[in-house]
Every structure is written in structure tokens, then in C-alpha cells.
Chains A and B, each alone.
Chain A
């Protein structure tokens, strides 16, 4: 059975969307309800940097693979040896 590898990116896409929404909500809360001071501005900046770094780390984890390829699940036979997983 041929399965596109990019199908694995769907859960990541959902998680990224949810994370982005929560990130926006956090920024909204800090900017609306935080005390007006340089500390609040610095925290908003830290949140932006933190989100950007997280996206970079996630990208570094994912960009090493060619997601356009397909894999043939039908050709794999698990023999019970965990080292057999290298064939997958």
C-alpha cells in the first residue's frame, strides 16, 4: 500500500495551528491586561522570540526529510526484532 509521507505532516499542521492560536491569545492577554511598563513590552518580545525559536526547532526536525516521497507499507514485514524497524 503506497502512502504519501506528507500525510504525517497533518497532525503537525493541526498542532502548529493550535499553538499559533494559543500564542496569539497569550499575546492578547498580556497586552490587554498587563501593567503598562517596559517589562510587559519585554515579555511580549520574549514571547515572539520564543515562538519563533520553537518554529525553527520544529522546522529543523522536519526539513531533513523529503516529504514528497511515498512509502510502501505492504513491503515491510516485522519479524519481532526491534532493529528490523530500520527497514521502515
Chain B
């Protein structure tokens, strides 16, 4: 398991400041997907009863349909579980020294990337769409000076707030590493 106080390549004095997962809307979407899939056998059963086809009392068709429905229920369970695992293991950790981007792609692919805070050049917060605006979720893009593709914090809660937190931590890291002079007035809300 991940321990926030014992991250890989943990540096002395480093603390985890921000831990993020995708917004709860992702769980709602998984739940809706699950509910829609479960509705299909219910609709079929209703249709069969309306058409007066009491197939469950038959010798062959009844057991066959029961087996198919049992297999279908197991399949839905597995798909839902896998989708939730994918959601739960997509995490972003911002420490006082670096950003750790952990992306779970399916069940058998996992990508872990790290970025030192002083390398950050640009941070962009993006909220797109009616639902995202109402629920305050969106993406945060982090770009370095290198040619590597930017980090993307997907569907996170309060992207503007997260952007400000990362900016503050980035500035503090640059000051610590001697790349910047500290603000004389300090950060608001720090």
C-alpha cells in the first residue's frame, strides 16, 4: 500500500501536501453504467411476462436462460469492480519536493511518473462543461521546460484551488533550492 509518509525515493524533510483522486462524479458514472447494465435483464424478464412466455418453467430454455443471466450478472460485477479499481488507483500526490502521477490503465497497466517541483514552468486549470462548472471539477495541466508531455490531473475537485496550491509549493521549492528569492510579503492564505 502507499504510505504518504513513506513514498518511494522519499527525501529528507519531504512531506505530502496534496493527495488527489478524480471527482466523485466518476463514481456516479460507474454506478449509472452498472444500473443501466442491470436493467437489461429486468426489461427482458418484464417483456417475457407480458408476452406470456413463462420460460423459466420449461425443461431446456428455462435453465439455459438462467445460466445466461447468471453469467451476465457475474460479468457486470467484474466490469464494475474493474472500473472502480481503475478510478481508485488513479492518484496524484504533491509533496514539498515533487509531483507523483499514478495512472492505472485497466487492471494490468500502471504508469507512475514523477516531476520535481522546480522544473515546473506552467500550470493550467481547466473547467469545461455545465456539469463540471456546477460541481467544480476539471483538469490541471502541468508543463515543464522539457519536451516530455505535460502531467494531466484529470477530473479533480476544485482545479483552481489545486493550481494555487501547486504554485505555492513550486515557489517554496524553488526558494529552497536557491532558484528564487522569497516573496517579501509571503503568500496569501499560506
- Measured CB to CB, the residues of A under 8 A from B are 5, 8-9, 11-12, 15-16, 18-19, 22-23, 25-26, 29-36, 40, 43, 47, 50-51, 54, 57-58, 61-62, 64-65, 67, 71, 73, 82-83, 85-88
Contact = CB atoms under 8 A, between A and B. Distances in A.
A33 B78 contact: no
Contacts of B3: 36
Instruction: Give the dominant DSSP class at B's interface.
Output: helix
B71 A15 contact: yes
A52 B81 CA distance: 13
Contacts of B53: 82-83, 85-86
Contact of B59 (A16, A40, A43, A71): A71
> How many residues of B sit at the interface, in one of the four size bands?
35 or more
Given A47-B81, A62-B66, A64-B66, A29 B74 contact: no
A53 B154 CA distance: 32
A12 B71 contact: yes
27 contacts: A15-B70, A15-B71, A15-B74, A15-B75, A18-B78, A19-B74, A22-B81, A22-B82, A25-B107, A26-B82, A30-B85, A32-B1, A33-B2, A33-B102, A33-B110, A34-B89, A35-B91, A36-B3, A40-B1, A43-B88, A62-B67, A62-B70, A85-B55, A86-B55, A86-B58, A87-B58, A88-B58
Contacts of A71: 59-60
Interface in B1-29: 1-4, 19
A54 B102 CA distance: 30
Contacts of B63: 5, 8, 62, 65, 67
